[in-house]
Amino acid sequence: MGVEIRVEGLTKSFGHQVIWQDVSLTLPAGEISVMLGPSGTGKSVFLKTLVGLLRPDRGSVLIQGQDVSRLREHALYEIRKLFGVLFQDGALFGSMSLYDNIAFPLREHTRKPESEIRRIVLEKMDMVGLIGAEGKLPGEISGGMRKRAGLARALVLDPEIILFDEPDSGLDPVRVAYLNQLIVDLNAQIDATFLIVTHDIASARQVPDNIGLLFRRELVMFGPREQLLTSDEPVVGQFLNGRMQGPIGMAEEKDAAQVEQELAELDAGRHTGPRGGKGASGEGVVPRLLPSPGITRSPRWQAIAEREEMAALRARVADHARSRRSARDAAEEVD
């Protein structure tokens, strides 16, 4: 069963540079959450704070009644056994082959015989499509392969909490699709709590239960997927559409007057500049990605599937009514 993470009033700074302050959110047990935010807003720092690699200045991270930010070294190592973490660059051990990298947690923390380890490692490597690359060193493979190997290593101990730092960066669109399906299937099977940091809006719209957005040293929003996807916050809109117009600038922040002007332009319906990068094709709720047909669904996923079916039905009815109405209108015009 997944584990809930409760973050309260978390603040982190490096020297005088405040990264984010007063971040409070709850990652519900067994659910998938996504964290969005412009580059450099401290998403990776947030993940590292959750696992206790970085200590916050203030606030707490509560997991099973323990505050990760205040745990002693020993207790910290214990609680980390709940986690599987995929780092932004994979963070594979450069001196070990992929096989040894993935087997490493099993060898360190379990007393399984080598044959059993082999079975598990090959199963995970198959899952991420790396069969045949067992003997390669991390330096000899592509970035996307490193990412997938890091993913396999993060999953090998059947963690309760899975943190992914940009699992899709460096992957091609087809692999991203497979990866998203893999995440949903995993969630349906092992019921772990997922937190995914990503820049890929298309994935963020389909995959999670909850979405959060970090911007300007704050958590702008965190809540159910529908809430963020239908929000009219200017930052959210800009992010979901991948526009240049809006509060986010190249160097994170723009001056207030310019933002004011650009938002007025948008209100008047004048869009300028490119848009739609990284799957940012606009706001609005899209159908949720469901587990593959072969996977037995937990009650949670059954409920989600039913809700999705209802939504699809409602959409079809509305669609039908609309087309009937327009047909009638056309007929009246002819009369």
Ligand X SMILES: Nc1ncnc2c1ncn2[C@@H]1O[C@H](COP(=O)(O)OP(=O)(O)OP(=O)(O)O)[C@@H](O)[C@H]1O
Near another protein by CB under 8 A: residue from 3, 25, 45, 85? 85
String of contacts with Mg ion for each residue 18-47, x by CB under 5 A: --------------------------x---
Cα 106 to Cα 95, 164, 194: the distances in Å are 17, 20, 21
Sheet of 161-165: strand order equals 83-86, 161-165, 193-197, 32-36, 210-215, 218-224
Shortest Å, Cβ 54 to Mg ion = 13
In angstroms, the CA 177 to CA 161 distance is: 22
Of the candidate spans 36-44, 55-63, 175-183, 265-273, the one that interacts with ligand X by CB under 6 A turns out to be 36-44
**Placement of tokens 């809109």 in the chain:** 237
The half-sphere exposure of 57 on its side-chain side, counting CA atoms within 13 A, is 13
Of the candidate spans 42-50, 121-129, 139-147, 153-161, the one that interacts with ligand X by CB under 6 A turns out to be 42-50
Site for another protein in 49-78 (CB under 8 A): 51, 53, 73, 77-78
Which is closer to ligand X, CB of 41 or CB of 238? 41
Near another protein by CB under 8 A: residue from 108, 267, 332, 333? 108
Select the binding partner of residue 70 from Mg ion, ligand X, another protein, none (C-beta < 5 to 8 A, by kind). none
φ and ψ of 190, to 5 deg: -105, -5
C-alpha triplet 8, 11, 15: angle, nearest 5°? 165
φ and ψ of 280, to 5 deg: -85, 75
Site for Mg ion in 82-101 (CB under 5 A): 88
> Where on the chain is the footprint of Mg ion (CB under 5 A)?
44, 88
> Where on the chain is the footprint of another protein (CB under 8 A)?
48, 51, 53, 73, 77-78, 80-81, 83, 85, 87-89, 91-94, 104-105, 108-109, 153
